[in-house]
Structure 1
Amino acid sequence: MKYYLCKYIPPRADFLATLSPDEQEWMRQHGIFLNERLDQGLIVAHGPVMDPSGGYGVSLYQIPDDQDIAALTAEDPIIKNGLGHYEHYPMLHLKARGES
């Protein structure tokens, strides 16, 4: 298994406060996308970070060795629609609550 902290960088600092109707729909689809990966066991946790200098999103991925993290995050509807980008940070391991 491989582990990553993925940071979603929105296209502008006030992104969540200034969403257009199209962006609202793509963000709804983004939430569905992340929750589906959560249900599949590829994401351990995800959520928005409310940083005063500009919010961003964080996802913790646990993926099989043969999967590519950039290919996975490229399928996110917000990325497909040109709204920001992901940064991928490899982790040595990931321990989650409830694991033995």
Structure 2
Amino acid sequence: MKCYLCKYIPPRADFLATMTAEERDWMKQHGAFLDELLEQGLIVAHGPVADPNGGYGVSLYRIADDQNIEAITSNDPIVRNGAGHYEHHPMPHLRTRD
């Protein structure tokens, strides 16, 4: 298994406060996408981070060795629609409570 901290970087620092109606729809799809990955067991946890310098999202992934994290996150509806991108940070060890 491989583990990653994935940081969703929105297209602008005030994104959460200034989303257009279209972007709000994409964000709903984004949440549903992540919830589905959580149900599948690919994500351990996910949620928004209220950083005073600009909010962002964090997801902790635990995926099979033959899976590609970039391929997974590139299917996120918010990313597919060009509203932000992900940073992928490998985690050599992720301990969770099962």
> So what's the TM-score if we normalise by structure 2?
0.98
Alignment of structure 1 residues 40-51 onto 2, 5 Å: 40-51=40-51
| Structure-2 separation of matches of 1:96 and 1:47 | 16
Identical aligned residues as a percent: 70
Partner residue of 1:32? 32
| Structure-2 separation of matches of 1:93 and 1:37 | 20
| Structure-1 separation of matches of 2:93 and 2:16 | 31
- Amino acid across the alignment from 2:55: G
Partner residue of 2:8? 8
Alignment of structure 1 residues 74-85 onto 2, 5 Å: 74-85=74-85
| Structure-2 separation of matches of 1:51 and 1:95 | 25
CA-to-partner distance for each residue in 1:5-29, whole Å, 9 max, x for gaps? 0000000000000110100000000
Show structure 2 runs of 5+ residues with no match.
none
Show structure 1 runs of 5+ residues with no match.
none
| Structure-1 separation of matches of 2:36 and 2:71 | 16
SS at match of 1:45: strand
SS at match of 1:48: strand
- Amino acid across the alignment from 1:76: D
| Structure-2 separation of matches of 1:83 and 1:94 | 29
Runs of 4+ aligned structure 1 residues displaced above 6 Å come to none
- Amino acid across the alignment from 1:79: V
| Structure-2 separation of matches of 1:97 and 1:57 | 22
CA-to-partner distance for each residue in 1:53-92, whole Å, 9 max, x for gaps? 0000000000000000000000000000000100000001
| Structure-2 separation of matches of 1:25 and 1:83 | 12
> So what's the TM-score if we normalise by structure 1?
0.97
